[in-house]
Amino acid sequence: MTIRCVLATVFFAASISTCALSADAAQKAELWKKLEPLFTVPAEFKDKLAPHRSLLKFDDGSDVKTADDWKKRRAEILAYWHKMLGPWPAPIEKPKIEFIDKESLPEFTRHKVKVEVAPERTANGYLLVPPGKGPFPAILDVFYYAEDGADLTKNKEYYHDFGAEMARRGFVALCIGLEPTKSENDIYYPSHAAATLQPLSYLAYVSGNCRRALAGMSEVDPKRIGVAGHSYGGKWSMFSAALNEEFAAVVISDPGIVFDEARPNVNYWEPWYLGYEPGKPFRKRGVLTEEFPRVGPYKQIVADGHDLHELHALIAPRPCFISGGSEDQPLRWMSLNHTIALNKLLGVENHIGMSNRPAHPNTRESREQWASFFEYFLK
């Protein structure tokens, strides 16, 4: 081959590469055009802070002034939450995945799987793999039932098929479901009678092992794995991203992102979330009353003046999107402003967004917002 032919070949390859980069940039710009309004604090809430404990003060009252200071402050916050919620077992470095069944669809392949999620524990789920050659970005989709995320339920109007939606967009998706009120031993570790972890902490531990299972697959880029969930799954995904620093991005859909005892569905006081007491009968289900008050770690966390905005801070500066419904209305921006200020200290902008809809269930529009968020930040 002559030098002229070599130069022509190199020029042609470079031109193709430049065109691909230009197309990617144009696609990303188009995505941001849709997302930007959702990452802009409304004027009525701009710079207004909810009355939470300051993220930028150490427990001794001294100020957090630099990114290095924040590393120490973050460790302080993380240690408090682990102390309150219980110590994790050692992580499973290479969780086993058992492939049970397989269904080939035009848009992706759906595998029924069993995943090792804790010592001597497995969870049923579905692994959805798009066509083509990876490595692909991936998401962990958590909810009551894995079938919802994998698009295997008849009830389509709530748009809970998020794992399937992301697989249609070129993501690997692992859909995991654990139902707290009917499969008690699935969320109380090591047993229901003598659990050493609060259920939400255990669920976050499960997510960490699921992330490692995804990261070990040749089809997955281990640096581009996100986590997402709705309602109960939103609580689960928030704790997962906060307590597992390796998740690259998170969608949190309408769980109640801060404590709010006026909202009966923002019920972190329940024993299947943060109100578990080993060996004691469950408090009556429902809102707090004088007869049925706060119990367990939830009681102590509230008494100590802590709130879930500290979990948002543990997620920072990774991208975080709140898909708000009835439980997370625009007023929540005042809580998110604490973490926006932290991100500013860390030199990061536009990494916290929120949308709002009137009702709790997902909609076609909110599912599209979830998907656009992950496409923008992970794909």
Which of these, 155, 174, 144, 318, lies nearest to 235 by C-alpha position? Answer: 144
* pLDDT, position 193: 87
* pLDDT, position 17: 52
* pLDDT, position 283: 80
What is the C-alpha separation between 1 and 18, in angstroms, rounded?
Answer: 24
Model confidence, pTM:
0.93
Q: What does each of the 379 residues of the chain score in pLDDT, given as a tens digit?
A: 555 544 444 444 445 455 556 778 898 999 999 999 999 999 999 999 999 999 999 999 999 999 999 999 999 999 999 999 999 999 999 999 999 999 999 999 999 999 999 999 999 999 999 999 889 999 999 999 999 999 999 877 788 999 999 999 999 999 999 987 655 568 999 998 899 999 999 999 999 999 999 999 999 999 999 999 999 999 999 999 999 999 999 999 999 999 999 999 999 999 999 999 998 888 888 999 999 999 999 999 999 999 999 999 999 999 999 999 999 999 999 999 999 999 999 999 999 999 999 999 999 999 999 999 999 999 9
* pLDDT, position 9: 47
138 has which bridge partners?
A: 172, 225
Find the radius of gyration of the CA atoms of the chain. Answer: 22
* pLDDT, position 6: 42
* pLDDT, position 184: 59
* pLDDT, position 24: 85
User: Are residues 292 and 283 in contact, defined by beta-carbon separation less than 8 angstroms?
Assistant: yes
Domains with residue ranges and CATH for the chain: 33-378 (3.40.50.1820)
320 has which bridge partners?
A: 250, 352
DSSP 163-196: HHHHHHTT-EEEEEE--TTT-GGGTSSS-STT-S
Residue 32, both tokens: 């941001």
Residue 77, both tokens: 């916050």
> Which tens digits make up the pLDDT trace of 260-300?
999 999 999 999 999 999 988 888 889 999 999 999 999 99
Q: Tell me how many helices (H) and strands (E) the chain has.
A: 10, 9
205 has which bridge partners?
A: none
User: Are residues 234 and 254 in contact, defined by beta-carbon separation less than 8 angstroms?
Assistant: yes
Look at the block and give the residue holding tokens 């972190």: 268
* pLDDT, position 181: 65
